[in-house]
């Protein structure tokens, strides 16, 4: 996906070493159809902390993809390397330990943003609502780039 995106956008656009996740630093962030302020705004995000996948860059601009498949250009000043994830697939039970039968700590609906604290053996530790717990990696977007 990375090589294809960079090639389609032109020789000035450089693919990353590999796709990487970032999150929105700004409360409001414009997603544009091209890498510059002169390009029209395609979408306006109003979700600080939303994870985005960076797949290419041009100067100060990053070509990003969100969990719903929306893609476009965003200025790097609107992004941070702080890792977050989006809960996917309906209501999920956040567990005390990385085990299916472990006691529940919280339940969270799809679309909720949580802090990513780490992953191991198919489970990820997240921070949400002042609590820390575990969810299966498959219930989260923002852990691994989508298959190419």
Q: Which residues contact 101 (CB under 8 A, 6 or more apart)?
A: none
Residues 53 and 108 both lie in one domain? no
Residue 146 lies in a domain: no
Residue 68 lies in a domain: yes
**Confidence at 146, pLDDT banded by 50, 70, 90:** confident
Provide the domain limits for residue 25. 2-82
What pTM did the predictor assign? 0.86
Residue 94 contacts residue 133 (beta carbons within 8 Å): yes
pLDDT mean over 59-81: 97
Burial class of residue 72 (count of CB atoms within 10 Å of its CB; 0-12, 13-18, 19+): buried
Mean predicted lDDT score pLDDT of the chain: 91
Q: What 3-state DSSP class applies to 49? A: coil
Residues 8 and 76 both lie in one domain? yes
pLDDT for residue 35: 97
Model confidence pLDDT, tens digit, residues 116-143: 999 999 999 999 999 999 999 999 999 9
Residue 147 lies in a domain: no
User: Domain containing 55 — which CATH number?
Assistant: 2.30.30.40
Residues 62 and 43 both lie in one domain? yes
Distance separating alpha carbons of residues 30 and 43, to the nearest angstrom: 6
Q: What percent of the chain has pLDDT over 70?
A: 87
**Confidence at 145, pLDDT banded by 50, 70, 90:** confident
Residues 47 and 32 both lie in one domain? yes
Residues 12 and 71 both lie in one domain? yes
Question: Of 11-25, 27-41, 58-72, which range is least confident?
Answer: 11-25
Residues 100 and 124 both lie in one domain? yes
Distance separating alpha carbons of residues 19 and 148, to the nearest angstrom: 10
Residue 100 lies in a domain: yes
- For the chain, helix (H) and strand (E) counts, in that order, are 1, 14
Total domains present in the chain: 2
Residue 124 contacts residue 87 (beta carbons within 8 Å): no
Residues 18 and 36 both lie in one domain? yes
Residue 72 lies in a domain: yes
């Amino acid at each position: 996906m990375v090589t294809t995106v960079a090639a389609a956008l032109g020789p000035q656009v450089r693919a990353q070493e590999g796709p990487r996740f970032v999150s929105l630093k700004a409360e409001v962030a414009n997603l544009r159809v091209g890498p510059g302020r002169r390009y029209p705004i395609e979408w306006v995000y109003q979700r600080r902390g939303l994870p985005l996948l960076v797949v290419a860059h041009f100067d100060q601009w990053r070509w990003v993809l969100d969990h719903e498949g929306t893609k476009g250009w965003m200025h790097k000043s609107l992004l941070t390397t702080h890792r977050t994830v989006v809960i996917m697939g309906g209501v999920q039970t956040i567990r005390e330990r990385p085990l299916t039968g472990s006691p529940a700590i919280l339940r969270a609906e799809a679309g909720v943003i949580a802090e990513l604290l780490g992953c191991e053996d198919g489970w990820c530790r997240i921070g949400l609502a002042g609590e820390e717990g575990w969810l299966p990696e498959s219930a989260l977007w923002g852990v691994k780039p989508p298959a190419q």
